[in-house]
Amino acid sequence: MDYIQNLISRICDRSDQLQETQTISWQALREAEQLANHAYIPVLYQYIEHEDDKERRRAALYIIAQLSRNTNDPEVIRFLIDRLKIEQDPDMITGIQQDLERGLPVPSYINVQPLLNNTLSANTNVRRSALLALKGTKNPMVEDWILQVLQRTVNEYDIYYITVLLNKIATRKSLAALKRLLEHHRHDVRSLAFATIADIEREKEVLFYARCLMRGQLKFEAMQAIYKYADENAIQAVINRITELLSRKRTGEAHHLNNDSHKTGFTDLMLGMEFLWKFRAAKAEVKKTFSWIAEKRADYLLPEEREWIQRNGAVS
């Protein structure tokens, strides 16, 4: 217990004193993240139950959340969720929910009603951190609850966080809601909704992905879905998109501002070439497209696209 008390005190240290260029608190937090001694867990249960000081209790909750992850003990998750019914301070509740988001998946047998209730909180941070904490749940009631919340929500930022959650937990019962989100004015909401639909429907909606690509709707997301799930029926749509992309030179600056590319490490042109590469031996139009890129559009490629061409031997 002496060690835990000392660690909590160091986490709560607010001095500017530095040790090897880092504050005492920062170093203590990193130390807590490495703990894996299961014997500390019951000690911390008792400490949290009886500690009146909010800051020290928050430090203890942070420590026990790290222990849960490092010892693979899901019962700590039950304890943390139960604390949500006891704690009153929004910052404390938000902190616990952030710990849950970064921790182990929540087993389906654990009651997540406190988290569900907090998705309706008047406090913005409590509400949105609850949505993110639910990403790791396996409880089927979460999807039903969140779909009901979505129906009542008009706040565009809440809708974004709900879409982030659905991206992790949605099943076919969410498809109607996700398709409605394809009309949302925020691109990030539309993008996540499209990706979620693709991961649910997979090969079943290849024609839908191809139509979106040809119509210029969520083109990167459509290309990604085709890359992951489509067959040769999408070849022409991909060739058309590649031809469009290489109809003019693109600047590296414009490309590097593309968050979608950041998420995957691929530009949409690279995704298209990866897809077509699977059919290069059997489809004359694919061979023709790669020859056109090599002979007529090599100067139009971004550096990473040029590297892809060289790595795959698509250019002699």
pLDDT, tens only, 106-127: 999 999 999 999 999 999 999 9
Give yes or no for a contact between 92 and 54, defined as CB atoms under 8 angstroms apart.
Answer: yes
pLDDT, tens only, 136-190: 898 989 999 999 999 999 999 999 999 999 999 999 999 999 999 999 999 999 9
> What is the distance between the alpha carbons of residues 262 and 167, in angstroms, rounded to a whole number?
18
- Is 70 exceeded by the pLDDT of residue 254? no
Which band of pLDDT confidence, cut at 50, 70 and 90, is reported for residue 262? very low
pLDDT, tens only, 188-211: 999 999 999 999 999 999 999 999
Q: What is the pTM of this model?
A: 0.87
pLDDT of residue 253: 43
In the chain, the amino acid numbered 198 is: A
Which band of pLDDT confidence, cut at 50, 70 and 90, is reported for residue 16? confident
Which band of pLDDT confidence, cut at 50, 70 and 90, is reported for residue 237? very high
Which band of pLDDT confidence, cut at 50, 70 and 90, is reported for residue 15? confident
- Domain extent listing, the chain: 205-316
Give yes or no for a contact between 63 and 35, defined as CB atoms under 8 angstroms apart.
Answer: yes
Token pair recorded at residue 136: 């790791």
What percentage of the chain reaches a pLDDT higher than 70? 93
